[in-house]
Structure 1
Amino acid sequence: MQDVLAVTTVIVAGMMVGVEFAVAVFLNPILDRLPDNGGLAARSDGARLLGRVMPFWYIGSVALGTVWAVLAWGEEGAPLVAAGAGMLVLSVVMSILLLVPINSRVATWSHAGVPEDWKEQMGRWDRFHYVRVAVIVLGFALFAVALVHA
């Protein structure tokens, strides 16, 4: 049972990392290069869609990591699992405090109505997102190493 939980945690967290990495490194830079701010509508739509889905994914990953850490407590890889879950908790806190406020505004934007500083807000969101991606990559890596030691 614990092995299934460990593998499931690594898969769920790894897929989340893949999505967030792709958004940071590929998707948003491509959208930003579209002419006439063509990526604005896509970013706004993405903020709405991912804003509904990602909270469940983040919380689910934290829950899986926490349960794994509790069940594995006292075993060799347990501190790694706990540290990985801690990294994911940090990413949730970062999301709530730094990214969600910007994302909530972006979700309401359209070409007809955007604030004058919308590019600066997008840049700020991107910078926070890069840090969050680094945090969740570290959490995922800790889970993966713990899985190897299980």
Structure 2
Amino acid sequence: MNVVAFVSIFFAGLLAGAEYAVRCGVRRPLAVLADQQHIELRQALIRSLRIAVPAVYVPTLATAMAATVGNAGGRGFDFQCAGMAALLLWTVTTFAGTVPINAGVLAWSAGAPPHGWQAVIRRWERLDNVRTWAAAAAFACFLGGAARLASG
């Protein structure tokens, strides 16, 4: 396994870990807060994570693409392609789904949330489930590709 493939696995693991932490470590505590505190904390998380997640996602995508292209047709290439497909799913779900919702949430007044705001949050959570599983699948696929390459 080359250095680029190793780095791509490292960043894919960070991305999967970040998604897992939000899914399993943040969402449940948010749900028990009063409406205003829920929205205030959610807005703070969006402001923080809209910097932190791209800082992990961009190198994940760049190094995974480079490792996959560099291994075209080689051992583990099928796993790498599956990992790239999972990253594509994460990307589409993020940019077409959660990013627009997050932008809208940032415009909310925490003291006077819009009517139906809970439905918006439920939609975000469904999309976040997709993102979490896609990131985990990408990580697993890149690990599988590395294992196949190493067994060669």
TM-score of the pair, normalised by structure 1: 0.90
Letter in 1 for 2:130: V
Residue 73 in 1 paired to residue 87 in 2?
no
The amino acid that maps onto 2:138 is: G
Q: Deviations over 1:104-140 (max 9, x none)?
A: 1112334234212111111110111101211111111
Shift of 1:12: 0.6
**How far apart, CA to CA, are the structure 1 residues paired with 2:39 and 2:18?**
19
- Structure-1 residue corresponding to 2:116: 117
Matched residue count = 149
Give the residue type in structure 2 aligned to 1:30: P
Letter of the 1:38 partner, please give it.
Q
Match of 1:55 in 2: 54
> CA-atom RMSD, angstroms?
1.6
**Structure 1 position 35, deviation (Å):** 3.9
Quote the Cα distance in structure 2 between the aligned partners of 1:40 and 1:83: 36
Distance 1:85 1:36, change over 3 A: closer
SS at match of 1:38: helix
Which amino acid in structure 1 is aligned with residue 145 of structure 2?
A
> How far does the alpha carbon of each residue in 1:2-46 deviate from its partner, in whole angstroms, 9 at most, with x for none?
522122111111111111111011211112112454222111111
Could you list the per-position Cα deviations for residues 41-88 of structure 1 after superposition, in whole angstroms to 9, with x for gaps in the alignment? 111111122123323422321111110011111211112112201210
The yes-or-no answer on 1:131 pairing with 2:130 is yes
CA distance in 2, matches of 1:52, 1:122: 21
Distance 2:45 2:59 in 1: 20
CA separation of 1:52/1:108 partners in 2, compared to 1, >3 Å: closer, same or farther?
Answer: farther
Moved over 3 A (4+): none
**TM-score normalised by the chain length of structure 2:** 0.89
- Contact 1:5 1:68 (C-alpha < 8 Å) held by counterparts: yes
Unpaired runs of 5+ in structure 1? none
Report which stretch shifted further, 104-113 or 115-124: 104-113
2-structure distance, mates of 1:111, 1:58: 29
Q: What are the residue-to-residue correspondences of 1:1-150 with 2, within 5 Å?
A: 3-35=2-34, 37-150=36-149
Hey, what's the Cα distance between the residues in 2 that align with 1:104 and 1:36?
Answer: 18
Query: RCO higher in 1 or 2 (8 Å CA, sep ≥ 6)?
Result: 2
